[in-house]
Structure 1
Amino acid sequence: MMIVGSHLSISKGFEYAAKEAVKIGGNTFQFFTRNPRGGKAKKLDLEDIKKLQKIMKKNKFGQLLAHAPYTMNPASYKEKVWEFAKMAFKDDLDRLEIIPCDLYNFHPGNHTGKGVEYGINRIAELLNDVLTGKESTWILLETMSGKGTEIGRNFEELKSIIDKVNYSDKIGVCIDTCHIYSAGYDIVNNLDGVIQEFDDSIGLDRLKAIHLNDSKMDFDSNKDRHEKLGEGTLGMEAIINIINHPKLKDLPFFLETPNELEGYKKEIEILIRNRE
């Protein structure tokens, strides 16, 4: 069974988001843990979570994916920024133990001129301060496009972070197809080679989710602009190859394409129709 969903708002509750996921043909969804451009997190409603669990069970949902806010920068040299990231990270993990959500995805952050090594050490420091080893959630580093001073533009940077984390058995990766194509990984013409490179660098056992997006930008542009499936520089043939690849097809796929619900519904229908 294909596990596929889109990014949905939980502003009206988890039950509402789960019903929306079912309505568009999904069997999972991604959500922001708190205001993506701020810091506030909505108080958890335990009855709402119970209703979510019922919908997930009835519709045979796969794993949900929680996404950290964009305002988190675990690589920052600014103490207030880094301390906020640490607070939000810890709070999110505590909340995810209550919500039936096994995956927590975050952008590694920006070193803002301090250098890649500094940024990697800063991220690892935060993870080592927060993780206890008892978490039931996989913490996922997202692959980035490499714009500006982003950390995570290549597999080696992600591996460097993982190697510095004490409880590294809790750390996985979420590949974003738009991001890695923009970062110079040719998943259109050399998908097998990119997957092998990931396995050699990080290990496929750590790959836990895929953000499935087309791109508005050219290959190796280091620019992050998502596009609707089949309408960008990746194209539908490459998208179909990704969802059917034997080493990827059983992972959960999450759409972050520039769509409303109806657009997500059409994309999910296309993906299911083209699943081998």
Structure 2
Amino acid sequence: MMFIGCHLSVSKGYEAMGKEALKLDANTLQFFTRNPRGGKAKDIDPKDCEALLNLMKENNFSKIVAHAPYTLNPCASDERTRVFALEVMSDDLNRMEYLPHNLYNFHPGSHVKQGVNVGIDYTISLLNKILKPEQTTIVLLETMAGKGTEIGKTFEELRRILEGVNLIEKMGVCFDTCHVYAAGYDIVNDLDGVLEEFDKIIGLNKLYVIHLNDSKNPFGSHKDRHEKIGKGSIGIKALAKVINHPKLRHLPFILETPNDLSGYADEIKILRNLYK
């Protein structure tokens, strides 16, 4: 079975978001825990969360993904910015326990000219403060395109973060097709080789979800610009290989393409038809 969904808004509630996914023929989804630019999250309604969990069970959903706000930078040079990231992510993980056994994704951060080593150490420090043995949520590091001073543009950088986390069993990776392609991993011509490298450096057992996006920019551009499926430099044939790859096909695929809901519905239909 193919598990595919897209990024949806939780503004109308958790159950409403799940029903919207069903209208798109989706059986997974991603949502921001709060305004993607940061700020206070809406109060949790436990009954609404329970209703979403029941809907997921009844419709055979895979795990769903909560995404941290884009503005968080756990390895910023400014201490207050790092503290804000810690406070938001800690609160998010507490809130995620109303939707137990799901996934929480975040960008590892930008070291802002402090150097990769300093940035990695700050991100590790944050994770070691917020992760708890009793939590059911798996926290995911996202593969990044490498724009500016982003951390996570190489599998080695992600491994260094994982190796520094005390509760590594609570950690995993989100593989973004646009980002890895822009970072210089040739998933178009050598998907097998890229996955072999990922397995050797990180381990495919740590891969929990795929962000399925085409790229507006060419290979190795280090630019994070998503494109609609089949309209970018990755192309539909390469993305079809991704969803059908024996090492990936069981994972949830999340679309983050520049679309409205009807566009997502069209892409989900196309990809389901390509899934063998």
> Which residue number in structure 1 is paired with residue 23 of structure 2?
23
What is the identity, as a one-letter code, of the residue corresponding to 2:79? E
- The alignment's TM-score, normalised by the length of structure 2, stands at 0.99
Q: Secondary structure at the match of 2:209?
A: strand
Structure 2 CA distance for aligned equivalents of residues 57 and 132 of structure 1? 26
- Aligned alpha-carbon RMSD (Å): 0.8
- The alignment's TM-score, normalised by the length of structure 1, stands at 0.99
> Which residue number in structure 2 is paired with residue 128 of structure 1?
128
Of 13-22 and 53-62, deviating more is 53-62
Measured against aligned partners, the alpha-carbon deviations of 1:54-79 in whole angstroms (never above 9, x if no partner) come to 21122111111000001211111211
Deviation at 1:99, TM superposition (A): 1.9
What is the identity, as a one-letter code, of the residue corresponding to 2:141? L
User: Structure 1 stretches (4+) deviating beyond 4 angstroms?
Assistant: none
Q: Equivalent residues in 2 for 1:48-197 (5 A)?
A: 48-100=48-100, 102-197=102-197
Deviation at 1:101, TM superposition (A): 5.3
Q: Secondary structure at the match of 1:15?
A: helix
What is the identity, as a one-letter code, of the residue corresponding to 2:105? N
Stretches of structure 2 lacking an aligned partner (at least 5 in a row): none
What is the identity, as a one-letter code, of the residue corresponding to 2:64? L
Check the 8 A contact 1:65/1:101 in 2, yes or no. Answer: no
Structure 2 CA distance for aligned equivalents of residues 61 and 127 of structure 1? 28
Measured against aligned partners, the alpha-carbon deviations of 1:188-219 in whole angstroms (never above 9, x if no partner) come to 00000000000000000000000000000000
Measured against aligned partners, the alpha-carbon deviations of 1:85-131 in whole angstroms (never above 9, x if no partner) come to 00011111111011245100000000001000000000000111111
What is the identity, as a one-letter code, of the residue corresponding to 2:23? K
* Aligned length, in residue pairs: 276
What is the identity, as a one-letter code, of the residue corresponding to 1:23? K
> Which residue number in structure 2 is paired with residue 273 of structure 1?
273
Check the 8 A contact 1:66/1:101 in 2, yes or no. Answer: no
Check the 8 A contact 1:64/1:101 in 2, yes or no. Answer: no
> Which residue number in structure 2 is paired with residue 223 of structure 1?
223
What is the identity, as a one-letter code, of the residue corresponding to 2:33? T
Stretches of structure 1 lacking an aligned partner (at least 5 in a row): none
What is the identity, as a one-letter code, of the residue corresponding to 2:168? S
Structure 1 CA distance for aligned equivalents of residues 91 and 251 of structure 2? 27
Structure 2 CA distance for aligned equivalents of residues 255 and 19 of structure 1? 17
Q: Secondary structure at the match of 1:151?
A: coil
Structure 1 CA distance for aligned equivalents of residues 105 and 220 of structure 2? 23
